[in-house]
A = this chain, B = another copy of it.
Amino acid sequence: MNIDQGKKVPKKSINRIQQEVQNSSGITLSVDCVIFGFDENKLKVLLIRSDITKFKEQWSLLGDLVDPNEDIDAAANRIVFERTGMSDVYLEQVQTFGKIKRHPAGRVVTVAYYSLLNIHQYSLKKFDNEIHWHDVSSVTNLAFDHQEIFDICNARLQKRILEHPLGFNLLPKKFSLRELQNLYESILELKMDRRNFRKKFFAMDLLTDLEEVETNVTHRPGKLYQFNFNKYQNKKKSWAGIDF
């Protein structure tokens, strides 16, 4: 992970975006990112205070216009980098929102992504006090149509994490099985059986036992593991069940 203290961040106010949109004769394209983190056993999302009058006091997702000379994936990476100082983060395109009146400034079609990153590598807290991490469970009433976008991205994450080992992107390199289970439980908003959870992960054979244990913990320390990406290759299930 490349961490930069954000010196290169070009400040793009939403008012500038408003101007650009209003100057455009056609459709303006933007990218919005639902940036997830995991801290204190809670799933978090990074939000910025909206500075459009209509949405005063509401929070919104991090986004920006796509430059005509920029791939949309690149725009998503740029937004995450500008706002977190991190590159090489996990990003997945989710859906494009294109209702005529979804944005007050004019016709803006937005491509939504979600991103998973290790919140402890996030380091721009000092540079923009309009940006904060929020508990996913308490996110309501976002600006624009961002609540809908957020809900859909969150649902997508819930689904994806059951199909692919993405959770590791939210954890430090070394983690305990308890941390992993807490992560799953907070994303899925349910409780799981500890023995079955462990059994499942060991059976998948994706974890490397680091032969280390937690420290600074007030009880019996758990063993530490690392995600083994190599083992994951070719594990993708060839599936033919039907399940509605």
Contact = CB atoms under 8 A, between A and B. Distances in A.
A100 B69 contact: yes
A71 B96 contact: no
B236 A244 contact: yes
A98 B26 contact: no
Contacts of A184: 242
Contacts of A200: 242
A69 B101 CA distance: 9
A72 interface: yes
Contact of A241 (B25, B29, B99, B162): B162
B68 A27 contact: yes
Which applies to chain A's interface (DSSP): helix, strand, loop or mixed?
Answer: loop
Contacts of A27: 26-29, 66, 68
Q: Which of A28, A69, A93, A100 has the most CB of B within 10 A?
A: A100
Contact of A96 (B111, B162, B239, B243): B111
Given A29-B27, A68-B26, A96-B111, A237 B244 contact: yes
B188 A240 contact: yes
A92 to B, nearest CB: 10
Contacts of A206: 244
Given A26-B24, A27-B66, A28-B26, A109 B243 contact: no
Contact of A204 (B71, B109, B244): B244
Contacts of A29: 26-27, 29, 98, 109
A73 interface: yes
B242 A237 contact: no
Interface of A: 24-29, 66, 68-73, 93, 95-96, 98-100, 107, 109, 111, 162-165, 184, 188, 190, 192, 200, 204, 206, 232, 235-237, 239-244
